[in-house]
Amino acid sequence: MDKKRDMVGQDQIHDLLFGEKLSWQAIIYDLINTEQLDPWNIDLTLLSSKYLEKIKDLDEENFFVSSKVLLAASFLLRIKTDILLNSDLPGLDSLLYGKKENKTYEQERIELEDGEIPDIIPRTPLPRFRRVTLAELMSSLGKAIKTENRRIKREIIFKHERREIGMVITKNLFNLQDKIKEVYSKLKKIFSNREKRFAFSELIEGSNKKTKEEKINSFISLLHLDNQQKVWLEQDEHFEEIWIMLKSLYEKQKSKDLNVETGFGKSESFQ
């Protein structure tokens, strides 16, 4: 007389799916074939709750939980549904791919002339003529899990690299409008008692504590002021000193120089 096999319960399924063993597909396959696993004894709601608790307990940096828990839960749910409808595993084929309807056709006589016979094109995809076996279903499930694991791993690596980049590159934000007003106000104060052009190096050397970023921000503000026709900028040679002058003062001096040249020309022609 054969001994009655011990049935697998909820705790054993938890240990199987949350463990690191790679042979869990074969184990489930064997348990179903030997009737040691009754899908009705597995509480999928409890399994999903345990899965969420497992995720919350893990640190984000070490977060790498296989999606086999969710896929296996879906697989067991399909088995339960199939047993409820058909009471056997082969019914999964009709559940996944639909039942084949038996259509009746009435014979109809069609008369075609020579050369009018159309080409017969096979249907794509071709209809299935056999049921999907449990082994094939488990193989497809394993491939889906591997694909999902690769996607999760790529996402974790991407988040980790983005976090490292964020730690290396510091973001120094500043208000450009306020900086432009600050630089313009400083220039107006300088040229209130000055008529000669002013060097950019003198503008930024007022404080030795200024960082490279602050110097760049001052230069960007100058470019905006030049675009707004509020200052005049000049550089004699590349990589040399940048000279600054208020636009109004520059136009005034330019007009004065032009009048001097015009008067000098008239005096020569008069002689």
Torsion angle of C-alpha atoms 205, 211, 214, 216, degrees rounded to 10: 90
The per-residue pLDDT for range 205-264, each reduced to its tens digit, is 765 556 788 888 889 999 999 999 999 999 888 888 999 999 888 888 888 877 766 665
CA distances from residue 116 to 109, 150, 260 in whole angstroms, order as listed: 15, 54, 99
pLDDT of 243 = 92
Which SS3 state, helix, strand or coil, does residue 232 take?
strand
d(CA 132, CA 95): 11
More confident residue, 151 or 10: 151
Tell me which residue of 7, 8, 13 sits closest to 50, measured CA to CA: 13
With cut-offs at 50, 70 and 90, classify the pLDDT of residue 34.
low
pLDDT of 220 = 92
pLDDT of 271 = 47
Tell me which residue of 268, 259, 271, 25 sits closest to 139, measured CA to CA: 25
Q: What percent of the chain has pLDDT over 90?
A: 10
H/E segment holding residue 138: helix 134-168
In the chain the domains, ranked by start, together with CATH numbers, are 10-97+125-168 (no CATH), 176-270 (1.10.10.580)
